[in-house]
Amino acid sequence: MINVIRPALFAGLALAGGACRGAPRFDPGEAALAAAASDSLTVALADSIAPAQGFVASQAGSAVETISACEDHVDSRGWQSYASRIIELELPEGYTGTAQTSSLARWNGPSGWLRASTHSSEAHVGWSGLITSECDVFISGSPAHIDLVTGGYGRGVHVLIKVQDAPQIGIEAQAKDIGGQAQLLHAIRAARVSSAWGHPE
């Protein structure tokens, strides 16, 4: 009888002991790496969604002012309406039309300028500057590609509008600062393609 009980007793105690075993050994080095990975991922995610929420992104410890080509949070109350044979749009106070032909329209203002014309090339072709943000949107019902660029003059907005049954429209705008860039971006996004565009005079 004892011979039967003894192995059963040891087996039982061994199983019970197994049930009480602790968690795997804790490795502080691996835990630190996991914490660093988690933290850097959270910071990167915060930086990536910051522009969309209207925050200014920061990189490498210093403030870098940038906006997304997809965002549009500018208040345009009080802006003035302008029309041409290419586009109709609203611009901040102080802008005046300087050149208006059937294929070119230009407005100059205190913080920058904006020019609309025929653009036969694809997006990114025919313009210069470092692209900081891109976005595909619809402008006046037509598919459009927006590039925000930084160049020698300041901050630019390049837009290509693919108008159905009419030539493509290229819009180039330049602002001295990021505020002006955001204003011109909004002006272009809210612009309407003129009903005269694509029709002979």
Partner 1 sequence: MRLLSIPATLVGIAIAIIFFKIYGIFTRPDVPRPVAIVIDQFAPGVSIGAKVADVRHNVAAMSYVPHLGFVGMPGSRGANLPNGYTIRFAQVRLLLDEQTRRLPNPNPAKARIDAVEIVSGEANAPYDIGQAFTLTFRRPPREGCLRTADDDRVRDVQIWATPNERGGLALITDHRVSPADRARSPVMTSVIGFVGKFDGGRTLRGNYTDASCSLALQSQ
Q: Applying CB under 8 A, which residues contact partner 1?
A: 1-2, 5-6, 8-9, 11-13, 15-16, 19, 23-24, 26-27, 30-31, 33-39, 41-42, 45-47, 49-50, 53, 55, 58
Q: How far is the CB of 40 from partner 1 (least distance, A)?
A: 8
Nearer to partner 1, 33 or 125 (CB): 33
**171 contacts 89 by C-beta, under 8 angstroms:** no
CA dihedral of residues 154, 189, 179, 170 (deg, nearest 10): 10
**157: Cα separation from own chain's centroid:** 12
Q: How far is the CB of 18 from partner 1 (least distance, A)?
A: 9
Q: How far is the CB of 94 from partner 1 (least distance, A)?
A: 29
Q: Which residues pair with 169 in a beta bridge?
A: 118, 161
Angle at 71 between CA 67 and CA 73, to 5 degrees: 95
Nearer to partner 1, 20 or 165 (CB): 20
Whether the CA torsion 48, 53, 59, 64 is positive or negative: it is positive
If you ran DSSP here, which 8-state letter would residue 135 be given?
E
Q: How far is the CB of 74 from partner 1 (least distance, A)?
A: 18
Q: How far is the CB of 30 from partner 1 (least distance, A)?
A: 5
Nearer to partner 1, 35 or 125 (CB): 35
Pairing state between β 87-91 and 80-83: antiparallel
CA atoms within 13 A on the CB side of 7: 3
Nearer to partner 1, 49 or 130 (CB): 49
Q: Letter for the amino acid at 198?
A: G
Nearer to partner 1, 33 or 130 (CB): 33
Nearer to partner 1, 50 or 131 (CB): 50
Query: Which tokens is 60 given?
Result: 């490498």
Q: How far is the CB of 138 from partner 1 (least distance, A)?
A: 23
**19: Cα separation from own chain's centroid:** 54
